[in-house]
A and B are shown apart, each in its own frame.
Chain A
Amino acid sequence: MSLSTALKTGDVTALPSRRDEDWRWTDLRGLIRVLPEAAPKFEGEVAAGPFAGLTDGEILFVNGRHVATSGQGEVMGLRFVAATEKASQAASYALVVEPGASLTLLESHEGRAAGYISDVALDIAVGEGASLTRIVLVEDEAEAVNVVTASVDLAAGATFNQTVLTGGARRQRIETHVAHPGAHAQVRLDGIYLLSGQRHADQTTVVTHGGVDGVTSQLTKGMVADQARGVFQGRIIVQPGADQTDARMGHHALILSDKAEIDAKPELLIFADDVACAHGNTIGALDEEAVFYARQRGIPELEARAMLTEAFVGEVVERIEHAGARQIAAAWVAKQLGRSEEGGAE
């Protein structure tokens, strides 16, 4: 059951549906009746992406096809552009970070057309002692469907830091699987989702600790307004014998309207005993007292709520180490919040 299988075979019944435990809150089968034609090769200019100017080089995919790779260095851009309306596209990319090397991947998913269906599969290997920072900025179009699945394999002593920033789509799933060897490797999986209108965003992560001495830290913060829906599924598996695993997960969300929804499933499957594992999940609304305080100082309500929401997700932005990417992220958050239709329930 996967979107990529459905796109390959043209068989709509291969789409995951809410009967599939893992997809209960992100139903593709119920939404997509007919799979659209594959997008044609795109002939034309592609405007610069959101991380332009920060990268040493860029790998560009348009309509699912690899179009160009230019430059190289420690900061690379990876762009997936959807340029054709109501078409389907499937892309896959493999990345290897050599032992001891260091790479910052600024990945963007850019929806430049309406109603496309996109599937992206990434295969990532981080070598011994190497470090990969992956910042994923997802800007899909409101009627689009996008599934991005990354499988990350880490070697001993590797470091993997990821931050996903998404504004959702008609239906969207950003999925990350990490094979964590323990062995002093460190993983950080962070995310921000800011959803309004009728958008949907699903962030699903699975971290499997297979060996002794590994650290995983996760912080996801989100906001849903209007009739949007945010989904968070974070699974941490600690295999038998994976002692001295330290795995912590936090998911905190704000619901700003009475028609919005948050679904969360922070899961711990623990088979070893000498571990420190915890997860925390909170869902609530903005502190009304804080809203009144800001308003009493003259800040109009919508602006006050946007300011407080920006502060709320700011903690995740602050964790981005790459200064340039952090600035882009902060600017993106500010823009997303300025665009929200409703500020909250009154």
Chain B
Amino acid sequence: MLSINNLHARVEDKPILKGVTLEVPAGEVHAIMGPNGAGKSTLSYVLSGRGGYEVTEGSASLNGEDLLELEPNERAAKGVFLSFQYPLEIPGVPALTFIRTAVNAQRRARGEDEIAAPAFLKLAKEKAASLKIDFEMLKRGLNVGFSGGEKKRMEIFQMAMLSPKFLILDETDSGLDIDALKIVSEGVNALRSPERGMLVITHYQRLLDYIKPDRVHVLAAGRIVASGGPELALQLEAEGYDKYAGAAA
């Protein structure tokens, strides 16, 4: 489903990704772990099309379609969703308005009809309840005044509302306590399906207790230096990243 081939990317002339190759089949959850500075966030930004990141070599495609040539919103319409490590506050734009605008923009891009207001509200109430989000909070500015945990839950809520094909979760567990972590993980797991793929980027193994991956990859110094089953994550937790520090020079 997601195909990354020998991807090289740099930020302001500094090479960060130095040849990443990765396949995530539909229906699978792959975890990317690695030391700080390895390029984990860079990978998520390059896949989602954030400005300031230059691809110097290689390719990335979703279901056979090249991603790198598309604008960020075009990638979103194709089904890519990035859950931000630090979700933004947008004062003055109510959360519901923001999401409805996004839903309709993606539908228009795909040639579909826009969602009707009653249907949208019904769906929003449903998903909010399942994520234990107070519906009234959705009428306030997006993420304004939300705690870290609440912001992450809002990311999952948006995911549920947009129904993406491929999810990239960038350090979704950072700043979360156990309770928040459980709710967020439940929300993510509820989205698992044979038609959906996921890339879970995390520094700590803990998240993977709740969102169990099919494969685990280690990203160090801009390259995937090891791949394995879920037990690889446990190994990393026990041994740390030291042995990969000098690996991909």
Contact = CB atoms under 8 A, between A and B. Distances in A.
Q: Do chains A and B touch in the complex (CB under 8 A)?
A: yes
Interface of A: 287-290, 292-301, 303-304, 307-308, 310-312, 314-315
B90 A293 contact: yes
Interface in B186-210: none
B73 interface: yes
Contact of B162 (A294, A298, A300): A298
Interface of B: 48-51, 71-73, 75-77, 80-82, 84, 87-88, 90-93, 98-99, 101-103, 105-106, 109, 141, 158, 162
A297 B50 contact: no
A290 B84 CA distance: 11
A318 to B, nearest CB: 8
Given A288-B51, A295-B71, A295-B72, A303 B91 contact: no
Contact of B88 (A289, A301, A310): A289
A184 B182 CA distance: 55
Given A293-B88, A294-B98, A299 B71 contact: no
Nearest to B164: A298
Nearest to A311: B92
A297 B76 contact: yes
Contacts of A295: 49, 71-73, 76
B86 to A, nearest CB: 9
Contact of B102 (A288, A298, A314, A315): A298
A290 B88 contact: yes
19 contacts: A292-B50, A292-B72, A294-B98, A295-B71, A296-B48, A296-B49, A296-B75, A297-B73, A297-B81, A298-B76, A298-B102, A298-B105, A299-B73, A299-B102, A301-B73, A310-B93, A311-B91, A311-B93, A315-B92
A301 B71 contact: yes
A221 to B, nearest CB: 11
Contacts of A301: 71, 73
Contacts of B82: 296
A299 B90 contact: no
Residue of A304, A311, A315 with most chain B CB atoms under a 10 A cut-off:
A311
B172 to A, nearest CB: 15
Contacts of B84: 293, 296
A317 B57 CA distance: 48
A314 B71 CA distance: 28
Nearest to B89: A290
Nearest to B94: A311
A94 B87 CA distance: 53
B98 A297 contact: yes
B138 to A, nearest CB: 15
Given A295-B73, A297-B76, A308 B90 contact: yes
A164 B50 CA distance: 37
Contacts of B72: 292, 295-296
Nearest to B141: A311
A312 B71 CA distance: 24
Contacts of B71: 295, 300-301
A293 B98 CA distance: 11
A105 B28 CA distance: 63
A59 B52 CA distance: 55
